[in-house]
Chains A and B, each alone.
Chain A
Amino acid sequence: MARFEEPEQLLEAANKAYSAGYRKMDAYSPMPIEGLAEAIGFKRHFVSLVVLLGGLTGCVGGFTLLWWIAVIAYPHNVGGRPFVSWPMFIPITFECTILLAALSSAIGMLAMNKLPQPYHPVFNLQSFAERASIDRFFLCIEAEDPKFDREKTKAFLEELDPEEVAEVEK
């Protein structure tokens, strides 16, 4: 794991590590950095898909609930108007759509990030635990990477002009 002072350095280091053939790595920063996820080879996430599915479920489910109440469970004849007075169902259908889409975006994002996670080895590194969420930028090449070699990887990281290169204990 290498520690950098500036976000640009981390971005550059991530790009270099990817071109050097490393794949199993992660970059850590105290705020989002544009292009960093792409630099470590993270192509796509499914957050938008999950939100779309959640929204559709809310929409269809909400409308079906209202239809079922108004037509089957508790039909009310109001001056001979039709039971399926669908324009009157739109506000609640809309609210259900938003509610489920919002819930699925929050829960989906946390679940795909595997949070809450009570333990993660990166926090074993003192300087990470103290500064990764404040003002330092970290690149971690994981030992599971096929190209990983204790000495070579360390030498590679040191070439990138970091403040510090340290090993993370499992």
Chain B
Amino acid sequence: MKTEELEKRAIDPGPDKIIGPGYDFATVTDKIGGVVFQPIEKTPRQWWVTLLLAFIGLQGLLAGGFWLLYKGVGVWGIVIPVAWGFAIVNFVWWIGIGHAGTLISAILLLLRQDWRTSINRFSEAMTLFAVAQAGMFPILHMGRPWLGYWLVPYPNSMWLWPQPRSPLVWDVFAVTTYLTVSLIFWFIGLIPDLASMRDRAKKKWQAVTFGLLAMGWRGSARHWSRYQMAYLLLGGLATPLVVSVHTVVSFDFAISLLPGWHTTIFPPYFVAGAIYSGFAMVVTLAIPTRKWWHLEDLITMRHLDCMAKLMLGTGLIVAYGYMMEAFMSWYSGNPHEMFMYMNRATGPYAFFFWMLILCNILIPQSLWLKSVRQSIPKLFFVSIVVNIGMWLERFIIVITSLHRDFLPSSWGMYYPTQWDWAVLAGTLGFFLFLMTLFVRTLPSISIFEVREVLHHLAPHAVDDDMSPSPARGD
């Protein structure tokens, strides 16, 4: 089949196939690389609209960040007893979103799930950009962000060292390690594809740029052998890492003595919640991308179906977490614990609590139905709902436990200000901005791994699937 045909063609091969018909090693390269080499005037209009919206959102971060640095954290709604407002809510939310990327690329690599290939690059990029957003919040929240480097243990003239027993210091190590390892994993995975892009580039500057990034990769068998080992080991290292990162994030809460935070269920339930929200975000981003560049035959209904099932599964673990929280607060017999839970369900933030139950537990149950998993608009809707629900979950955890202190004289309320919203919208814009640029400038699907899938499929699929058949053309 001709490349031009393939670029326009978009047949979804259905829920049981991970790749559409008619591809060989060269056409798959051109199809994925075609998104990058597309002339500027041919870029889909929706892409420009998204980029513009993201750019406008990004201004919120610049304005909010500037005002915060100029005036101090008082411009946010944080007032004692609620000292952890949107900054921590957003931090936990963003870092959780990143987790699905690592899960797809590392854990599914170890489990040899063939459907991970066409979405891993994309979700790794999502991880990287989401962690970048997350990392900004604790630093902005410090009050004097320019002293942020004090968190790092380095010999200094003050003879001060960070407290190694504090979960907040653990966080510094966990998040920086996570960002570094995600970046390495993503870049190592890109090298062979960058070499393909170098050899396919028509313009000199493109060839030079991709050539520099590919570092002279030539596909030698010895190189591949070391490469595969390194990649597998990175997957093996990233797997416990992803679990540890959200565990450490949950320790920020669980190590404290506050009712509603001080529970042992936090680490597993945070990790499940992180993967839940991350898959929702991958689905939210993958649906428009596959549509705009006609990638329905590479990111097929089978991919979306698998992700929907994983969302359902992790969502049920999260639901179990909520149940256990309620049960333990009753079973503990501790009046503060019981009060905390009743306050969540009936107190001033009860509306958000019930919205959270609706978004995270009730609506996602529709994913049991095949008709919902196989319908793009419905799946898109559920994924957005889960994103919102997981944000509400962090809001409820952070705010409701803080706003009712042990003594009624220290009770308070938390109301976010416009600057809280500006920074949240700003990071959404920044994230989307980076994602839109990424899908346009780098191969967003791992080309060499799709070639491997083709090679494995080839012997028994030549007759029915792999040969171009006019009946199934566009």
CB 8 Å contact bits of A27-70 with B (1 = contact, 0 = none): 11111110011011010010110010001000000000110011
Known: A115-B217, A133-B196. A74 touches B161 (CB 8 A): yes
Question: Nearest Cβ distance between residue A127 and chain B, in whole angstroms?
Answer: 11
Cβ contact within 8 Å between A134 and B196: yes
CB–CB A28/B218 < 8 A: yes
Docked-complex contact A85 and B165, CB < 8 angstroms: yes
Residues facing A in B165-181 (CB within 8 A) are 165, 167, 169-170, 173-174, 176-177, 180-181
Interface contact B241-A98, CB-CB below 8 Å: yes
**Residues of B contacting A69 in the complex (Cβ-Cβ under 8 angstroms):** 153, 161-162, 164
Task: Tell whether, in the assembled complex, residue B219 and residue A30 are in contact, meaning their CB atoms are under 8 Å apart.
Answer: yes
Selected interface stretch from B4-12, B222-230, B319-327, B382-390: B222-230
Q: A7-43: contact bitstring with B at CB < 8 Å (1 yes, 0 no)?
A: 1000000100000000000111111110011011010
A7–B221 Cα gap in the complex (Å)?
A: 12
Within the complex, what minimum Cβ distance (angstroms) separates B133 from chain A? 20
When the two chains form their complex, are residues B29 and A45 in contact, meaning their CB atoms are under 8 A apart?
Answer: no
Judge whether B256 is part of the interface by a CB distance below 8 angstroms.
no
The answer on a CB contact under 8 Å between B226 and A45 is: yes
Q: Tell me the smallest distance from the CB of B292 to a CB of chain A, in Å.
A: 24
* B150-169 to A contact mask, C-beta < 8 Å, 1/0: 00010000011111110101
Q: Is the CB of A122 within 8 A of B451?
A: no
Across the interface, do B230 and A91 meet the contact criterion of CB distance under 8 Å? no
CA distance A65 to B229 in the complex (A): 30
Q: What sequence of 0s and 1s flags, for each residue 420-456 of chain B, a beta carbon within 8 Å of any chain A beta carbon?
A: 0000000000000000000000000000110110010
- Decide if B344 is an interface residue (CB 8 Å cutoff): no
- Given A33-B221, A98-B241, A102-B180, answer yes or no on A88-B25 (Cβ-Cβ < 8 Å): no
Give which listed residue, A98, A122, A133, contacts B192 with CB less than 8 A: A133
Min distance, Cβ A52 to any Cβ of chain B, angstroms: 9
Q: A115-B216, A133-B192 are in contact. Are A29 and B200 (CB under 8 A)?
A: no
B24 touches which one: A26, A88, A112, A135 (CB < 8 A)?
Answer: A135
Within 8 A of A (CB), among B341-394: none
A148 at interface by CB-CB < 8 Å = no
> With an 8 A cutoff between CB atoms, is A77 at the interface?
no
Tell me if A103 and B216 are in contact (CB < 8 A): no
Residues of A within 8 A of B226 (CB): 45, 47, 109, 112-113
CB of B230 within 8 A of CB of A106, answer yes
Which of A78, A92, A109, A120 has a CB less than 8 Å from the CB of B170? A92
Is chain A's interface secondary structure helix, strand, loop, or mixed overall? helix
How far does the alpha carbon of A32 sit from the alpha carbon of B176 in the complex, in Å? 31
Binary interface encoding of chain B residues 171-206 relative to chain A, with 1 for a CB under 8 A from any of its CBs, else 0: 001101100110011011000100110111000000
Across-interface contacts of A30 in B (CB, < 8 A): 25, 192, 196, 219, 448, 451
Contact with A133, one of B199, B229, B230 (Cβ below 8 angstroms): B199
Is A132 touching B24 in the complex (CB atoms < 8 A)? Answer: no
**Within the assembled complex, what's the spacing in Å between the Cα atoms of A96 and B48?**
41
The answer on a CB contact under 8 Å between B220 and A27 is yes
Report the minimum CB–CB distance from B270 to chain A (whole Å): 14
B174, B176, B449 interface centre (most CB from chain A within 10 Å):
B174
B311 lies within 8 A of chain A by Cβ: no
The proximity string for B residues 13-31 relative to A, scoring 1 for CB distances below 8 Å and 0 otherwise, is 0000000000011100100
**Residue contact A106 to B234, C-beta cutoff 8 Å:** yes
Cα separation A27 to B251 with both chains bound (whole Å): 50
Q: How far is the CA of A39 from the CA of B222 in the complex (A)?
A: 11
CA distance in complex: A116, B191 (Å): 11
Q: Are B221 and A133 in contact (CB-based, < 8 A)?
A: no
Please name all residues of chain A whose beta carbon is closer than 8 Å to the beta carbon of B219 when the two chains form the complex.
Answer: 28-31, 132-133
Interfacial chain B residues near A157, Cβ < 8 Å:
none
Q: B1 contacts the other chain (Cβ, under 8 Å)? A: no
B170 nearest CB neighbor, chain A only = A91
Question: For residue A119, which residues in chain B have a CB less than 8 angstroms away from its CB?
Answer: 216
Q: Answer whether A102 and B170 are a contact pair too, CB < 8 Å, given A30-B25, A92-B164, A135-B24.
A: no
Per the CB 8 Å criterion, the residue count for chain A at the interface is 63
* Interface residue from B196, B216, B224 paired with A120 (Cβ < 8 Å): B216
Q: Does chain A have a CB within 8 A of B240?
A: yes
B80 within 8 A of A: no
Instruction: With both chains docked as a complex, state the minimum distance between the C-beta of B244 and any C-beta of chain A, in angstroms.
Output: 6
Chain B hits for A133, CB < 8 A: 192, 195-196, 198-199, 217-219
Q: Tell me if A110 is interfacial: C-beta within 8 Å of chain B.
A: yes
Q: Is B238 an interface residue (CB 8 A)?
A: yes
Are the C-beta atoms of A99 and B177 separated by less than 8 Å? yes
Q: How far is the CB of A133 from the nearest CB of chain B, in Å?
A: 4
A115 to B241, CA, bound (A): 27
B165 touches A47 (CB 8 A): no
A123 within 8 Å of B by Cβ?
yes
Q: Which residues of A contact B161 (CB under 8 A)?
A: 69, 73-74
**Shortest CB distance A2–B (Å):** 14
B166, closest chain A residue (CB): A88
Q: Are B233 and A51 in contact (CB under 8 A)?
A: yes
Q: How far is it, in angstroms, between the C-alpha of A115 and the C-alpha of B215 when the chains are bound?
A: 6
Q: What B residues does A48 contact at CB under 8 A?
A: 229, 233
Docked-complex contact A102 and B181, CB < 8 angstroms: yes
A145 at the interface (CB under 8 A from B): no
Which residues on the B side are within 8 Å of A122 (C-beta)?
218
Q: B233 contacts A105, CB within 8 Å? A: yes
B54 at the interface (CB under 8 A from A): no
A sample of 6 inter-chain contacts (CB < 8 A) reads: A32-B448, A47-B233, A51-B237, A101-B237, A135-B24, A135-B29
Contacts beyond the supplied A105-B234, A117-B216, A132-B199: 20 A-B pairs with Cβ under 8 Å: A27-B220, A31-B452, A32-B228, A32-B448, A33-B221, A45-B225, A51-B237, A66-B164, A70-B164, A74-B160, A95-B177, A98-B241, A99-B176, A106-B188, A109-B227, A115-B216, A118-B216, A120-B216, A131-B199, A133-B218
